[in-house]
Amino acid sequence: MKVVVKKPQSWFLGLYELAIGGAFIAFVGLWGIPFLEDRLNMSAEAAATALIFAWMGFGIGSPVIGWLSDKVNRRCLPLTISALMGVFSSLGLIYLSNLNTAILFVLLFFFGLSASGQALVFAIVRENNHITTTGAANGFNNMAVVLGGVIYLPFIGKFLDIEWTGHVRNGIRVYGVSEYHMALIILPVSFMIAAAVSTFLIRETYCRPLDK
CA–CA distance, 157 with 179 (Å, rounded to integer): 10
CA-based max dimension of the chain: 59
Name, in order, each residue with C-beta under 8 angstroms of 41's C-beta and a sequence gap of 6 or more: none
CATH 1.20.1250.20 fits 9-200, yes or no: yes
* Tens digits of residue pLDDT in 74-83: 999 999 999 9
In the chain, the percentage of residues whose pLDDT exceeds 90 is 89
* Tens digits of residue pLDDT in 158-184: 999 998 888 888 888 888 899 999 999
Query: What's the pLDDT score for residue 80?
Result: 98
- What is the average pLDDT score of the chain? 94
Alpha helix ranges (H) inside 32-133 = 32-40, 44-50, 52-72, 76-95, 101-115, 117-127
- Could you tell me how many residues make up the chain? 212
Per-residue pLDDT, averaged over 134-151, amounts to: 94
Query: What's the pLDDT score for residue 61?
Result: 97
Query: What's the pLDDT score for residue 173?
Result: 85
* Tens digits of residue pLDDT in 51-89: 999 999 999 999 999 999 999 999 999 999 999 999 999
Full-model pTM: 0.94
Query: What's the pLDDT score for residue 212?
Result: 65
Per-residue pLDDT, averaged over 127-132, amounts to: 93
Name, in order, each residue with C-beta under 8 angstroms of 74's C-beta and a sequence gap of 6 or more: 204, 206, 207
In the chain, the percentage of residues whose pLDDT exceeds 70 is 100
DSSP code of 31? I
